[in-house]
Amino acid sequence: MKDILKELKKKLSEEDFNKFNGRVTRVVGLTVESKGPDAFLGEMCKISLQNGKNALAEVVGFREESVILMPYEDVSGLKMGCEVIRTNKVLEVGVSRKMIGRVFDGLGRPIDGKPFVPEDRYPLINNPPNPLKRRRIKDPLPVGIRSIDGFITIGKGQRIGIFAGSGVGKSTLLGMIARNTTADINVLALIGERGREVREFIERDLGEEGLKRSILVVSTSDQPALARVKSLLTATSIAEFFRDLGYDVLLMVDSLTRWAMAQREVGLAVGEPPTTRGYPPSVFAGLPKILERAGNSDKGSITAIYTVLVEADDFNEPISDTVRSIVDGHIILSRRLAESNHYPAVDVLASVSRLMNDIVTEEHREAANRLRSLMSAYESAKDLIEIGAYKSGTNPLVDKAVEMKDEIDSFLKQGVFEKASFEETLQKLLDLYLRSLD
């Protein structure tokens, strides 16, 4: 009997127990340290709280003999000695065709009060499509915005960034695109938004028309940094599910900057050294990994639009600069245009679609280039024109630009609920082009 008890005691020793369960030993900032379990990097664990609930956490590192975890959710009630239970699983998101019209949190759990039964599960960390299996981007994806469809045409499978300071109209523009686009399905990730803005975006910017073919992934600014980081991965995985079914998906993320800020919190908390403007290396290493997952595959397409909130209207700050070097074009929203009541505040001259020449007709390209030249000529002489110092006849291009200024501005301005088809936009663009040749 004694021998049996000794054997049982040996099996239940602390060392053996820690392979499966651990105990909280320390809490530092955003991280929780525990002795055990014998978990792997990226594994999902459950922390048993004092109030009887379990909080999900992820293994983000190791320090000597301690496991470092970061929670996905609130850990009120955490104390020394709380049990940490390993799951032998990494975080996955449940996916289904019935997700359309629904709202989920950053981990893919429904928050709209309706039941949800997934038909499959997709990993949050996934590889981009094989470069040789990606279909070339040859077809335009109209978004129903004249300034974009006419001058910064987006292709199916393209990735493009919307760069702007705060309060210039990024969310409103995304709502317009979600309502007007010809994509089969929209997947929208709202990362780091104020809580009150979520419902406002759904009811005012997205509207019933946009919601009925959209999936929202929401992670507000009050949620833990890791939950905000995972929300971008969750939205991308959902988009990949529908792409694999053969759909043309439009993935919209607002904003990539707040994702980078959340990743900065995670990186600094686990001991990464700060580099440019306090961002750790994991931010700059993670951006291409997640952005490359969008695009065409051999089945369907993910066209991605990422908003980038530029600090102090500095379009060359680190995150803006890095994103611009990865994506296939950029749309600049100008505070100067917004202040003059020009909406959408798209600065056509500062914006570019790297794939536009491959996806539009020759006449479309010629018309857009001609009108860009007129806008550029007007901007170069703007100061002289406004003070009355410009003399008509000095430059024929400027003369024509002054003559057509109001017509071009009328084409570029668009009401929030005004829809413009691609054919209508192209026809108006060609009409302006012919007028400019008179």
CATH of the domain at 393: 1.20.1270.330
Element housing 193 (H / E)? strand 185-193
Count CB-CB contacts under 10 A for residue 197. Answer: 17
**pLDDT score, position 29:** 80
Same domain, 202 and 97: yes
What long-range pairs does 70-74 form, CB within 8 A, spacing at least 24? 70/30, 70/31, 70/32, 70/224, 70/225, 70/226, 70/266, 70/269, 70/270, 71/32, 71/47, 71/224, 71/226, 72/106, 72/107, 72/224, 72/226, 72/227, 72/230, 73/223, 73/224, 73/227, 74/224
Residue 160 lies in a domain: yes
DSSP-assigned letter for residue 314: -
Write down which residue in 32, 57, 90 finishes a domain: 90
In terms of residue numbers, what domain contains 105? Answer: 93-357
Q: Are 75 and 119 within one domain?
A: no
CATH code of the domain containing 80: 2.40.10.170
349 and 370 housed in the same domain: no
Return the closest-CA partner of residue 310 out of 266, 355, 277: 277
Q: φ, ψ for residue 326 (rounded to 5)?
A: -100, -40
pLDDT of residue 393: 84
Rounded Cα distance between 110 and 218, Å, is 10
pTM confidence score? 0.89
Question: Residue 422 phi/psi, 5° resolution?
Answer: -65, -40
Final residue of a structural domain among 357, 385, 405: 357
Pick out the chain residues at pLDDT < 50: 14-17
Q: Is 421 exposed, middle or buried (0-12, 13-18, 19+ CB in 10 A)?
A: middle
Same domain, 81 and 185: no
Residues 179 and 120 in one domain: yes
The answer as to whether 1 is a domain residue is: no
Report the pLDDT value the prediction gives residue 243, as an integer from 0 to 100. Answer: 96
Q: Give 150-184 pLDDT, tens digit per residue.
A: 999 999 999 999 999 888 888 889 989 999 999 99
Please check whether residues 294 and 418 belong to one and the same domain.
no
**Residue 99 and residue 78 share a domain:** no
Give me the pLDDT at residue 15, please: 46
Alpha-carbon Rg for the chain in angstroms: 26
Q: Model confidence over 319-338: pLDDT tens digits? A: 999 999 999 999 999 999 99
Residue 287 lies in a domain: yes
Instruction: Please tell me whether residues 193 and 309 are part of one structural domain.
Output: yes
